[in-house]
A and B are shown apart, each in its own frame.
Chain A
Amino acid sequence: MNMVLQSIFSAEFVYSILRMATPLILAAMAALLTKKAGVMCIAFESIMLFAALGGVVGSAFMHSALLGVLSGIFCGVIVAFIFAYFVLILNANTVLTGLALNTLGSGGTVFALYVICGDKGTSTSLSSLTVPNVSIPLVEKIPLLGSIVSGHNIMTYAALLSVILVYIFINKTALGLRIRSIGENPQAAESVGIKVVRTRFIAIVLAGVLASMGGVYMSMGYLPFFTRDMVAGRGFMAIAAQNLGGGMVVPTMLSAILFGAAEALPNVMQSLRLPAETMQMLPYIVTITALFFVGGTHKGEGKRHKK
């Protein structure tokens, strides 16, 4: 037990929390954007998967990590675009569309993987590139803090930066204000001349960019290759993080970090010799418990009309 406590209060553990939380933070910011626009998007799982595959394939064929990242984001945004088209233009049920896209994500990526590399499990036969880790000069010299903050993947810094950008975007820009007003009351927003469909479209595509970055990180930073279903419910956990954060930027980031910690914990607890399954269950149990204590942003049928 002592050993476990020691490793929990170590710089490496905090470092690994940030590493695990990176895709969750990015996807949670995406979930926040769609939530603000009043769209229940559960397609992040699929967006992230396609982005992860797109990144690996792009970087392998174009021999450039940057182009790989861009092609990954492109793939993810296409999925977001399909989602937006069906939900906004063809008036499809958002949850069913998200569900269909997630099915497409897990099946379609394996299909594409098999066609491209002849393997249904991983993309190791492709010589794909990764996004490098960077150490911040000066900061890395600071004891303790340096080893926590410095030396992360570029995408991790991008994730932290995205939190600030999303905060500014939602709270300080005209488009952000429009998105928020549509989420609050689309009819009222429309009556003052805001184009609801177009604005929602923009919000979903922007969310697609953020979630895709999370997906690209999975296959080009977290791991150096693509494996089937590698997103493993992170897209859903991001939605849960957004729920916990109550639609606010900083609490959403903190909940994403909490889930990241739940994912990082198993590595530390290995010395306890608990079955692997209990540890794998942990992030999901933490999510459900947290949802139970915080409650939904959507009030239950019983409570909605009490006033």
Chain B
Amino acid sequence: MQSRKIEQRFRIIRMLVAVVIALTIAFGFVCFVSKTPFETMGNFLFGPFLTVRRLGNIVEMTIPLLFTGVSVSIMYSCNQINMASEGGFFLGGVAAAYIAVTFALPYGIHPLLCIIGGGFAGALVCGIPAVLYVKKGVLPVVSSLMMNYVSLYLGLLIINYVIRDAQAGYPCSYQYRDTAILPDLFSKTNVHAGLLIAVMVLILGYLYLYKSQWGYCIRMIGKNPNFAKYSGMNVAGTILGCQLVGGFVAGMGGAVEQLGMYGRFQYQALSNHGFDGVLIAILSHYNPKFVAPAALFLAYIRVGADIMARSSDVPVEIVYIIQAIIIIFVAAERFLEGWKHREIVKASRLELEIKGE
């Protein structure tokens, strides 16, 4: 028990060290680029907390990340490196846009249908790599990345040829009908009702992965597929099922983001939410319980970088550098391993001494 506790503590310490290293390296870059590095870094770290509007920005940015974070957590829990949540998020948004533009439906039902439609689009995108894996043994890493490009161009095809508003002056869809828009929750910010849906998804995702039989099967397959198989679990079916569920959540996220934040579909490239979801899932150790703090953290550094980019000449892309460094250090299993090992040895010695008395 002791050593497991230490393991857990070290997981958190390693994460914090990773964040500190990433921020230090980022500071190095800032020093290199900016003439007033301390002020710039101050803007980056403390800027997001200064006004209500900026705090609102953090929450707005967190909402889609909650969806993709839960989505990736579900998909990765059974050890499937499926990156299609990026494409699922995008195509989910497109599907929602199509429904929001085309059909006339009453308030309440309209956004619901948009979100469900988006969910099915996402499930389709994430399901195809899973089918390829289960039927043909194709590793999902490559096929899902190809799916991302397919869903990007398929989505753009729909936006630019089916529901394009030719009068808008730039490539985008028609305006969403008023009935489909998710209302804002607080004044002064754009925090929309999608937050409530996101929290619901978070709770359901946790219950699904950690408190249900399906979740147990998924995690067992992720840890040891052979054991799962010989104890009679339906491995192929479970893998396919949880990729579909994960894709559905990603697609829902895309739909909610569209209906909550935009009046028309404006993306002309992938939005990167799916890849952010991967970072969040890694930080939260594939547990939806920790997805919220991880998503808030990512949104916070995003908003910070945005403020920094506006007030200085440091480009906003510095966030990706920070993100990459965090992932790589969290993934590095042997990083700080010696320290952890010594701690475990010390703890077990202590335990032995107590027993010896």
Chains A and B belong together in one complex: yes
Chain B residues in 8 Å Cβ range of A86: 328, 331-332
Please tell me if A111 contacts chain B, counting CB pairs below 8 Å.
yes
A226-251 at interface with B (beta carbon < 8 Å): 233, 236-237, 239-240, 243
Given known A-B contacts A99-B327, A300-B137, A300-B236, A285 and B142 have beta carbons under 8 A apart:
no
Give the docked Cα–Cα distance between A82 and B331 (Å).
Answer: 13
Chain B residues in 8 Å Cβ range of A110: 315, 317
B154 touches A281 (CB 8 A): yes
A233 touches B317 (CB 8 A): no
Please tell me if A299 contacts chain B, counting CB pairs below 8 Å.
yes
B76-120 at interface with A (beta carbon < 8 Å): 81, 83
B141 touches A40 (CB 8 A): yes
A106-124 at interface with B (beta carbon < 8 Å): 106-108, 110-111, 114-115, 120
Given known A-B contacts A104-B321, A107-B317, A300-B236, A42 and B132 have beta carbons under 8 A apart:
no
A291 touches B132 (CB 8 A): yes
Give the docked Cα–Cα distance between A101 and B320 (Å).
Answer: 10
Chain B residues in 8 Å Cβ range of A236: 142, 145-146
Give the docked Cα–Cα distance between A90 and B32 (Å).
Answer: 28
Chain A residues in 8 Å Cβ range of B135: 300
Please tell me if B49 contacts chain A, counting CB pairs below 8 Å.
no
Binds B, one of A136-144, A160-168, A272-280: A272-280
Please tell me if A298 contacts chain B, counting CB pairs below 8 Å.
yes
B315 touches A300 (CB 8 A): no
Given known A-B contacts A277-B153, A277-B160, A302-B134, A107 and B236 have beta carbons under 8 A apart:
no
Considering the complex, give the chain A residue whose CB is closest to the CB of B278: A99
Give the docked Cα–Cα distance between A285 and B149 (Å).
Answer: 9
Give the contacting residue for A243; candidates B134, B142, B154, B236; CB below 8 A. Answer: B142
A75-123 at interface with B (beta carbon < 8 Å): 82, 86, 89-93, 95-97, 99-101, 103-104, 106-108, 110-111, 114-115, 120
Task: Name the prevailing secondary structure of the A interface residues.
Answer: helix
Chain B residues in 8 Å Cβ range of A298: 137-139
B324 touches A104 (CB 8 A): yes
Give the contacting residue for B150; candidates A108, A120, A288; CB below 8 A. Answer: A288
Give the docked Cα–Cα distance between A155 and B229 (Å).
Answer: 49
A296 touches B226 (CB 8 A): no
Chain B residues in 8 Å Cβ range of A107: 317-321, 323-324
Chain B residues in 8 Å Cβ range of A303: 137
Given known A-B contacts A97-B328, A111-B29, A278-B153, A240 and B136 have beta carbons under 8 A apart:
no
Give the contacting residue for A295; candidates B137, B157, B275; CB below 8 A. Answer: B137
Q: How far is the CB of B247 from chain A (nearest CB, A)?
A: 16
A101 touches B328 (CB 8 A): yes
B142 touches A240 (CB 8 A): yes
Give the docked Cα–Cα distance between A90 and B221 (Å).
Answer: 26
Please tell me if B225 contacts chain A, counting CB pairs below 8 Å.
yes
Considering the complex, give the chain A residue whose CB is closest to the CB of B158: A277
Q: How far is the CB of A280 from chain B (nearest CB, A)?
A: 5
B138 touches A243 (CB 8 A): yes
Extra contacts, 16 of them, besides A100-B328, A104-B324 (Cβ < 8 A), are A82-B328, A90-B334, A91-B332, A93-B333, A95-B81, A99-B327, A104-B325, A107-B324, A108-B321, A108-B324, A287-B146, A288-B143, A288-B150, A291-B143, A296-B133, A301-B225
9 A-B pairs with CB atoms under 8 Å apart are: A92-B332, A103-B323, A107-B317, A277-B153, A295-B136, A296-B138, A298-B138, A301-B235, A303-B137
**Which 6 residue pairs spanning A and B have beta carbons closest together?**
A107-B320, A104-B324, A100-B327, A90-B332, A300-B137, A296-B138
Interface residues of B (CB under 8 A from A): 29, 32-33, 81, 83, 128, 132-139, 141-143, 145-147, 149-150, 153-154, 156-157, 160-161, 221, 225-226, 229, 235-236, 239, 275, 278-279, 282, 315, 317-321, 323-325, 327-328, 331-335
